[in-house]
Structure 1
Amino acid sequence: MKKIYILFSVFAILIAASGCKKYLDVNTDPATPQEVSSKTLTPPLFAQMERGIQYDARYLGGLIQYFGGAVNVGEQHGWIAGSDNMGEIWRTNYFGLGANLNLIINDSEAKQEYNYVGMAQALKAWSWQTTTDYHGDIILKQAFDVNRYVYDYDPQRDVYAEVVRLANESIKNFSRTDGNGTVAKFSPADLIYAGDNAKWIKFNYGVLARNANNLVNKATYDPAKVIEYVDKSLASNAENFIVPNTGTTALNGNFFGPLRANLASYRQTAIIVGLLDGTYLSNPTASVIDPRRNNMITASPDLIFRGLPPFTIDGGTVLAKNQIPNPWGALGGTNPGPNQGKYLFRDNVGFPIMTYTEMQFIKAEAAFRKGDLALAHTAYLNGISSSIDFVSALGTAITPAEKAAYLTSASVKQTAASLTIRDIMLQKYLALYGYGFVETWCDLRKFNYMDGDVAGNKPYLNVYRYPTSFYVDNGGKPAQRYRPRYNSEYLWNTESLKKIGADKSDYHTYKMWFSQP
């Protein structure tokens, strides 16, 4: 690598010394703008956000048991050596978003278009948060230094601090009334909030809420601050951050939809089925069927709802894998065709990056930890109610009577005094099915899967199940992080990887900073 770098440097010096402007101008097209504006750069960024999560969800989805079917090593908490699989969030942060967001900030600051600056900072905050929650220690300070070819890793606590800084800077820029940033200039490029600064500010507070609520095992955890952030974040489903998909071709269709055919071999899981039929809720004998069930999952041919345990090919006592539906609602990998499927697994459905429902469950957890059970119960009910409305809008309408029957049933805690952290976290796990992959994994890890958090809470005990055998490199331990992207790091940055232990075969089982006391 050093030889290549030296030769390139010599070549650059020779060109500079020869007065080469005309030589380089051969690549300049006067009919094509050489400087791309912020409004041109912005729309594709939203697709990058969706792409990063969904590509890696093929593996992470199995680990957190949103997807089953023994499709890949994800369900065994494993990894694939010498492969970029599981590295799409990394690619999104550093290549899909990274430099493009820097260009937008520079371009927009020069034009005094502060809403574009705020948007770029908000996406940066979201991306750093998502990437560190997925990978742990990452490259932060040196990330976009073009004069380097070796990059040092920064500890996760530094990335968490940078997320807070960026989100607050974004809020400041969206709050400015000076400059030249107008709704008319911003709205055409803003596919999410149509240039509404107030909604972008709320998105930033949602990022801050995630950031602060992941720290429940730290002495610095402040539930009151988490509640404050949530109260300033998304106020209803109308403010959900949804990346739209046209869904007319495989090129513009939802990655999870039948046109893309990426989920044919995946199967619905036992944990999702058990939450929807009340088996895993606090009073299963008196629980009722969740009205979201028919919209979210599908029955087998005998009209019984079943799901696979982790890393299981055979369905058990009655049906084999090919008789358990995949997320589209099809059997045996059959493609139901364009515009078919269900829930978040249709071609033209948008992909949620953040929802009001998630924020309410974050608030419920924080209020519970704070000791304000009344507030926790209200937020818990808001989370369930808004999730039902969200799911209803993506399929067969759930009637007010069906919704009321569930909310007043034994499946939902009716009093603040009876509410437990388990009730909150299991309903959150269910509500985020199909989109909240990284956030759900954060919850599982901060509770140490089934072992519990520092306060002894064990919401996933006897619900989440480890595979019958972990991946061979795990040493019997569950996964805690995914490795940095192979092509950009293991090929070119190995010395830096060794400093954080990422050269070790069990690196993916090293606990995250955020989940430790």
Structure 2
Amino acid sequence: MRKKLLYLLPLFAIFGSCEKYLDVNKNIDAPAQVEGYLYLANIIQQYQGLYWDIRAIGPMTQMMGTTSGTYTTFANQYYTEGSDAGGELWRVVYWNQGMNLENLINQSLEAEDWTLAGIGYAMKAFSWDQLTKVHGEVPMKDAFVPGLLSHNYDYQKDVYAQVREWAYKAIELLERPDDHNYGSKITDNDYIYAGDKTKWIRFAYTVIVRNLASLSNKNNFSQDYAQELLEAAGKAFQSPADDATVKIAGGSQSAPYNEFNNFWGTARPNLSYSFFQHEWAVQVLTGTVPEYDETTGEKIRLDQNPYHPYKLAAKQIITDTLTDMPGHFDPRAAVKLGTTSNKLFQHLNNADSVKAYEYYGGMFTSTVGSIGTAPSFYGRNISSTFTGAEHDGIGRWIYRDDAPYILTTYAEVQFCLAEAYWKMGRNAEAFDAFKKGVAADMETTARYIYPGKEGSPTGGDKITRELFTSLASQYVNGPYVGGLDNLTLSHIMMQKWVALYPWGAPEAWVDMRKYHYDISYTGGYPSNGNGWVQALIDQKWDSDPSKVYKGLYLGPAQVQGRKSAYNVRNEGSPSYRLRPRYNSEYMWNLKSLETLKPIPGTADNYQTSIPWFAYPGDGPQ
């Protein structure tokens, strides 16, 4: 019999600093083979690793700022050698899921447990799609070959094709007749869909959509990828009821293990006040993107209102400040953003009260922004606490101890579809998908609203679900969505960015990189001297119709509040990938890293190596 190893990893987290495994072939008290379903629960719970790494990726998308010393380097778009920060997804794919997922698939195939094998392939496709988008080139063919002491890297183009192949394999297996009586083996261990095959099939198609959508800025997208995306989207998620989320136990301080709580909840100090909303996120969600003087890069000061001290751009993409007019206020601001307004949680069902909240964002590595100080994601200007006369309770929205981990949503699929249609010149269909995407994100956002207790400063959301739903209906039918008279790529991509905020930061980063951060350049792709120099990035002005993300300027851009150079190792470029996990690749697989092209993985600026999905063609050799 082929030797099998079962890696025993506790649910929700790995406890202690040393990982151990049980060799079932040498343990006389264990069976010769572990049934495949026993791997399932643990494999699914490892998706909390995505939220670990969003602490690195969130600041790169200007969804987050951070004062955490480990992660400020990512906010400044460069890499600190010797740190495993930003390497959790790598660990998830190669270790936490790793051979557990391989064994689940292989044993299920051998036993003709087609449903279980199909679920395994769907998760494998999802995980590897995320891995290559974040890290670029990765060891794939050599990943789980027994006996290897080093692992060759595969180029992203090949990994992309394999991801879709795994997804289609998942669909094939899930569509096969399966008369095995699983009892509760799958339903009790599947924390995403409880064994619902239809939803797992839609999930696999959604992975294909996500994979192909990242190629939308390639020269051959319409010819080689768009039709496949459209066909997959038609079979992917059909409504927000299909959203893929990982259910967790929660329990806050009463949980038997702290790791039973959401990674971003108050019971686990992973966000606390070390992470906070970036000012660009606040500007986008409140319609306060400023206008810049294109001759100086300075904002135009008005000195009329301390909350709005600068002239605002005439064209806002998501919303504006005309809150008295129906459909102009985006209620997602009151849920997705933290605010210190309404400390006693009063009048949560009153529209005028909610619309009066004030929001502040910080900078890349400071809570102090251009007009004020950003609160924590829980809504106070102090580190999170869960006890006392005033506290954050068990959190709010998706920063709640019992909130599930969001993997992907129907709204995201619709925005991918809208972008594809727009690129193909099918504007009416693009507009329809766009409207569905915004409406779906409203539904998904509302699902996790837990209003605080009126009159008590003890945490929760500062709006009721009833009021949110009413305001959402007005917004969806208002001038920024249903009444929009000229759909642009900016409307699609910025609404997608809002829908992904902040759980989908990795996919938002994909979009920003494929559009090259709106850097102004000529030719195939930006480069030193053609988009940036050592101390300055030349970004498109918001007045440029081709600029996708209005108001977005990187740290060394030519506008007020930026103008700070990146680390010299970047040679002027923003980051285009995270380096592989240090204690895996830089300790044990260095020679394989050295062979990577066009920039070796050992180079000081490897993090700036543009991934294949962001090249208009196949890229330099």
Q: TM-score, normalised by structure 1?
A: 0.89
For residues 141-180 of structure 1, the aligned pairs below 5 Å read 141-178=141-178, 180=180
Residue of 379, 382, 385 corresponding to 1:329? 379
Partner in structure 1 of residue 303 of structure 2: none
Contact 2:267–2:394 (Cα < 8 Å) also in 1: no
Coordinate RMSD, CA, aligned: 2.3
Distance, in Å, in 2 between the alignment partners of 1:420 and 1:515 is 21
Decide whether aligned partners of structure 1 residues 334 and 199 sit closer, same or farther in structure 2, where only a CA change above 3 A counts: closer
The one-character-per-residue Cα deviations of 1:463-516 (angstroms, maximum 9, x if unpaired) are: 243353323421121000011111111111111110110100100001010100
Residues 1:351 and 2:348 aligned together: no
Partner in structure 1 of residue 108 of structure 2: 108
Return the letter of the residue paired with 1:334: S
Contact 2:375–2:382 (Cα < 8 Å) also in 1: yes
Contact 2:24–2:33 (Cα < 8 Å) also in 1: no
* Consecutive unaligned residues in structure 2, runs of 5 or more: 1-22, 290-315, 343-356, 450-463, 526-544, 557-563, 617-621
- Per mean C-alpha deviation after superposition, the further-off stretch among 398-407 and 372-381 is 398-407
Contact 2:321–2:329 (Cα < 8 Å) also in 1: no
Distance, in Å, in 1 between the alignment partners of 2:112 and 2:139 is 29
Distance, in Å, in 2 between the alignment partners of 1:304 and 1:179 is 57
Partner in structure 2 of residue 10 of structure 1: none
Q: Compute the displacement of 1:183 (Å).
A: 6.7
What is the aligned-residue identity percentage? 31
Q: Compute the displacement of 1:294 (Å).
A: 1.5
Contact 1:183–1:196 (Cα < 8 Å) also in 2: no
Contact 1:67–1:269 (Cα < 8 Å) also in 2: yes
SS of structure 1 residue aligned to 2:216: coil
For residues 265-414 of structure 1, the aligned pairs below 5 Å read 265-280=274-289, 281-282=316-317, 284=320, 288-300=328-340, 303-317=357-371, 319=372, 321=373, 324-336=374-386, 339-395=393-449, 396-399=464-467, 400-412=469-481, 414=483
SS of structure 2 residue aligned to 1:385: helix
Aligned residues: 487
Residue of 43, 46, 54 corresponding to 1:45? 43
Distance, in Å, in 2 between the alignment partners of 1:26 and 1:86 is 35
SS of structure 1 residue aligned to 2:518: coil
Residues 1:62 and 2:65 aligned together: no
Distance, in Å, in 2 between the alignment partners of 1:434 and 1:273 is 12
SS of structure 2 residue aligned to 1:125: helix
Q: Compute the displacement of 1:398 (Å).
A: 4.4
Return the letter of the residue paired with 1:28: N
The structure carrying a bigger helix percent of its residues is 1
The one-character-per-residue Cα deviations of 1:405-430 (angstroms, maximum 9, x if unpaired) are: 21233333624x51001001111101
Return the letter of the residue paired with 1:421: L
Partner in structure 1 of residue 120 of structure 2: 120
Residues 1:254 and 2:268 aligned together: no
SS of structure 2 residue aligned to 1:353: strand
- Per mean C-alpha deviation after superposition, the further-off stretch among 128-137 and 268-277 is 268-277
Residues 1:139 and 2:139 aligned together: yes
Partner in structure 2 of residue 198 of structure 1: 198
The one-character-per-residue Cα deviations of 1:38-76 (angstroms, maximum 9, x if unpaired) are: 11110011111222x111111111111111144321210
Contact 2:115–2:178 (Cα < 8 Å) also in 1: no
Distance, in Å, in 2 between the alignment partners of 1:444 and 1:177 is 42
Partner in structure 2 of residue 223 of structure 1: 226
Contact 2:431–2:487 (Cα < 8 Å) also in 1: yes
Q: Compute the displacement of 1:242 (Å).
A: 0.4
Return the letter of the residue paired with 2:499: A
Partner in structure 2 of residue 495 of structure 1: 591
Residues 1:28 and 2:5 aligned together: no
Q: Compute the displacement of 1:217 (Å).
A: 2.8
Distance, in Å, in 1 between the alignment partners of 2:577 and 2:508 is 13
The one-character-per-residue Cα deviations of 1:81-106 (angstroms, maximum 9, x if unpaired) are: 11211111111111111211111122
Distance, in Å, in 2 between the alignment partners of 1:46 and 1:434 is 20
Q: Compute the displacement of 1:461 (Å).
A: 4.1
Partner in structure 2 of residue 12 of structure 1: none
Residue of 243, 246, 249 corresponding to 1:243? 246
- Per mean C-alpha deviation after superposition, the further-off stretch among 449-458 and 340-349 is 449-458
Distance, in Å, in 2 between the alignment partners of 1:73 and 1:503 is 18
* Consecutive unaligned residues in structure 1, runs of 5 or more: 1-23
Return the letter of the residue paired with 2:517: Y
Q: Compute the displacement of 1:174 (Å).
A: 0.2
Distance, in Å, in 1 between the alignment partners of 2:379 and 2:590 is 43
Residues 1:441 and 2:530 aligned together: no
Return the letter of the residue paired with 1:35: Q
Q: TM-score, normalised by structure 2?
A: 0.74
Contact 2:248–2:260 (Cα < 8 Å) also in 1: yes
SS of structure 1 residue aligned to 2:167: helix
Distance, in Å, in 2 between the alignment partners of 1:65 and 1:177 is 46
Contact 2:53–2:86 (Cα < 8 Å) also in 1: yes
Q: Compute the displacement of 1:129 (Å).
A: 0.6
Partner in structure 2 of residue 485 of structure 1: 581
Partner in structure 2 of residue 504 of structure 1: 603
